[in-house]
Structures are given as C-alpha cells and as structure tokens.
Amino acid sequence: MAASNPVTAPSPASAGHVAPAARRNYASLFALPAAEQLRAFADMRSLYPTRNIARGEHVSELSAAPSLDVRYVADGLSLNIDDFMRRGRCAGLLVLHRGR
C-alpha cells in the first residue's frame, strides 16, 4: 500500500501538546483527539521512560512473504488490509507465524 499521508515523528516541542492525562495513563491515549494520538504514538519517549536494548548475539533475518489477501467485515462493510491501515491510521503491520 502506498502511503498517501506520510507520518512523521513530532518534534520535541510538539510533544508538549499531548494531554497531561495521557502522560500518566496509557489507556487514556485512545481517548485523545486523532491528531494528538498520532503525535503521542509516534513519540512514546516523550511520555514514558525508554531505553535502547542491544541485539543478541544471534540475530534471525525476517524474510518477506507474499502479500496477504485478508478481508474482514466491520460496520457492515467488507474491508481489506489497506482499509484497516487507513481506518486505524496505522504506520505499519507485522504478521509473524511460527517465527516467520
């Protein structure tokens, strides 16, 4: 799916626009207006303590698989993965099955 509206991480200055309640409670992030949700989820480090974790000694490559033709019904509509990404304002989707 081609991205029609690229999502960029907020600048440190814009992180201050996230509602204070969301800084304390992860569940409250879902109650934020859409534009604030986008900023908050794109920059979790401004909301919660984070740290980098070094990779292990043995790293497994994730190879690309064929595209999935997944369909589902929501709100009485037959939808696909592109619809899911658009409706959920998702930046990515990773499907793993048995380590692949």
| Residue 2 pLDDT greater than 80, yes or no | no
Q: Are 90 and 38 a contacting pair, CB within 8 Å?
A: no
**Residue 20 pLDDT greater than 60, yes or no:** no
Give dist(CA 86, CA 3) in Å, integer.
Answer: 9
The CA distance from 80 to 61, in Å, is 27
pTM over 0.85, yes/no: no
